[in-house]
Chains A and B, each alone.
Chain A
Amino acid sequence: MAARPEAATAPGGPRPSLVRGRTRRSVGEHVIKGLLLAAAVLSVATTVGIVVSLLGETIEFFGQVSVGEYLLGTKWTPLSSGEQQSFGVIPLITGTLYLTALGLIVAVPLGLGSAIYLAEYASPRARRVIKPVLEILAGIPTIVLGYFALTFITPVVLQGIFGIDVQIFNALSAGLALGVLILPVVATLADDALRAVPEALREGAFGIGASRRQVVLRVVFPAALSGIVAALVLAASRAIGETVVVLVAGGASANLGIDPRESYQNMAAFIAQTARGDIAVRSVEFLTIFAVGTTLFVMTLILNAISIRFVRRFQQVYE
């Protein structure tokens, strides 16, 4: 076989250069990388945008309403006129927390119970049926749940079946609907957390003769605790920011009390209602949207940070 001419080792033979050149292709690569980075930066821009949009107007709000009155006042009637107008946000905050608490009372035991069944008791066939049910429930738009609360839970369940004397808009109904809303969140995330517990732990407990109930309650559940807490925090965060269910079923006035038969309003519902209304854009009433929005945003940010810390701890245990 004849030697290939290129194989000759005379230095300086025709050999393509390996040197990086300013080819069209290499410039194109850089352009592409730049475009991709720009897209990624958009997500940062969103956060910046949220903060900026909230902050500017909030500051303007506090130019007209003192921070003290806002944070410490217990009467929230920004749309009233004259003497009646008051900007104490506490009723909105308590309303938010109250409704969230009602939702959690429903969703936490039922959601955790569902998760435990799913993770520890259900056969693969049962899982194939139950998991989709939870996914469907999770996918129901919130407006549907609001409709359900107003047209079914209040008249049929509460007034009808249980005979409770509730107002048309009441916390009980909204809270129940919130519970149904966040139940799938609790169930799915807690299920993930339980399934992440290594089988070896269960086997060890079964091996010394513990019953399944004891294994689940005393070994698996505590082992999954940080993941479960993360799930609960996330669910609470979801409920805190929920707008439409409360708007439709909870009522239009901020309430400082805790009687579940009365109507309540949370921060998100207030924002929605005010934005809908016919309010002069530069007025202090309109600016309440941003002040309350900031309060809500800060709250969920803190909750999210807590939840992330729990998730990190939960991941570390098994890595």
Chain B
Amino acid sequence: MSVAEAPVARAVVRGSVRGARVREALFRAALLLCIGFAMLALAVLLADVAVDGLPVLSLDFLTSFPSQVFPERSGIQSALVGTLLLMVVCAVFIVPVGTATAIYLEEYADRDRWWNRLIEVNVQNLVAVPSIVYGILGLAFLVRGPLELGRVLLAGALTLGLLVLPVVIIVGREAIRAVPSSIREGSLALGATQWQTIWKQILPGALPGIATGVILALSRAIGETAPLIVVGAAAFARFNPNDLTNDPFSALPIQILAWVQAPQEEFRVLAAGAILVLLALLLVMNAGAIHLRNRYEQRW
């Protein structure tokens, strides 16, 4: 055999064939262990929460208000209502703004202009900013500062909205980009204006993708704790917020945090129960997103 082939052949023959197989098997086993750890961690985590929290779940738990004195009479009504309201208000904010930004960047912006490139780079940077910094932003501009809303639900919802807006923009852009240009060209060739093309052809085609992105963004938003801490969501609220711009508000992550950090064991168990409710909510939302994607995904 040639000189070049010899080392390879030698390498193949080197060591016993069994030794090589052992090395392969060991490597593969090590990799499987890694995956196994991840799956184990998830399983143990869910089991721990379930074991602690399931006994606490009841209709009373969902409908009572939390008490700082009586854990056995505590519930998550204010926190759950707060979380749901946050989700709705956040959606009202991010859907138009995120979609509009995505449309602008994909359909109108001329890439050669520096300000359009700036907007693009900006969105990418915002994704990497820690959520607590968004909390500070909300504190400075929404709670205090120019808008001076105070520690109210609207401030919380807008803060969360700013946090997840880049997600909506990025997913929205992908969905719009997925619409083939032949549709765009066909519409324009018929004498439709740019906006008519977008409104009647492109947006309807991109809608399932955008909706999926919005749901994912919202599920990220309602799981966040840090921004709500800084913006001043309350724990142990014994009422639901009626005025979104004036009343204090609570949220599930904040209430969970308060219970986790309570010294008494009885309160910590309540945290587990609230966690289960939060996880269930997230499960429903993500299942909805997957269903939406499978049912309405446009196959071009």
Chain A contact residues, CB within 8 Å of chain B: 25-26, 28-29, 32-33, 35-37, 39-44, 46-47, 49-50, 52-54, 56-57, 109-114, 116-118, 121, 130, 133-134, 136-137, 139-148, 150-152, 180, 183-184, 187, 208-209, 211-213, 234, 237, 240-244, 247-248, 268, 271-272, 275-276, 281, 289-290, 293, 296-297, 300-301, 303-304, 307-308
Contact = CB atoms under 8 A, between A and B. Distances in A.
Given A47-B125, A121-B28, 9 more contacts: A26-B193, A39-B101, A139-B223, A143-B253, A147-B256, A147-B260, A148-B49, A244-B225, A297-B133
Interface string B118-132: 110011111011111
Contact of A37 (B108, B220, B278): B108
Contacts, number: 244
Nearest to A240: B130
Contacts of B32: 117
Contact of B100 (A39, A50, A151, A296): A39
B213 to A, nearest CB: 14
A112 B30 CA distance: 11
B174 interface: no
What's the dominant secondary structure at chain B's contact region? helix
B122 A44 contact: yes
A154 B174 CA distance: 42
Given A43-B126, A47-B125, A117-B31, A53 B132 contact: no
27 contacts: A25-B193, A29-B194, A29-B195, A36-B101, A40-B104, A42-B97, A47-B126, A50-B133, A54-B140, A110-B38, A113-B30, A113-B31, A117-B28, A117-B32, A141-B278, A142-B223, A143-B257, A148-B48, A148-B49, A151-B268, A152-B45, A243-B225, A243-B229, A268-B226, A275-B135, A297-B129, A301-B125
B90 interface: no
Nearest to A187: B38
B206 to A, nearest CB: 15
A121 B131 CA distance: 36
B20 A241 contact: no
Interface string B221-259: 001111001101000000000000000000001001100
A241 B132 contact: yes
Contact of B133 (A44, A276, A293): A293
B139 A139 contact: no
Contacts of B31: 113-114, 116-117, 121
A275 B139 contact: yes
Contacts of B260: 143, 146-147, 150-151, 248
B257 A139 contact: no
> Which 7 interchain pairs have the tightest Cβ spacing?
A241-B130, A113-B34, A141-B223, A53-B140, A39-B100, A243-B226, A36-B104
A54 B109 CA distance: 30
B119 A44 contact: yes
A66 B126 CA distance: 30
B78 interface: no
Contacts of A53: 136-137, 139-141, 145
Contact of A271 (B100, B132, B165, B166): B132
B72 interface: no
A50 to B, nearest CB: 5
What class of interface size applies to chain B in its complex with A? 35 or more
A214 B137 CA distance: 49
A136 B122 CA distance: 28
Contacts of B165: 42-43, 46
A26 B225 CA distance: 46
A147 B101 contact: no
B162 interface: yes
Chain A CB within 10 A, most for which of B34, B130, B230:
B130
Nearest to A145: B45
Contacts of A289: 136, 230
Contacts of A234: 128
Contacts of B133: 50, 54, 241, 293, 296-297, 300
A35 B100 contact: yes
Contacts of A111: 34
A150 B265 CA distance: 12
A208 B8 contact: yes
B158 to A, nearest CB: 11
B39 interface: yes
Contacts of A301: 125, 128-129
B45 A144 contact: yes
B166 A43 contact: yes
Contacts of A180: 41, 45
Nearest to B256: A143
Contacts of B284: none
A126 to B, nearest CB: 9
Contacts of A297: 129-130, 133
Contacts of B187: none
Contact of A244 (B9, B100, B195, B226): B226
B297 interface: no
B80 interface: no
Interface in B165-223: 165-166, 169, 193-195, 219-220, 223
B68 interface: no
B122 A47 contact: yes
A244 B260 CA distance: 11
Contacts of B141: 49, 53
Chain B CB within 10 A, most for which of A26, A187, A268:
A268
Interface string B149-167: 0000000000000100110
B137 A241 contact: no
B162 A133 contact: no
A197 to B, nearest CB: 17
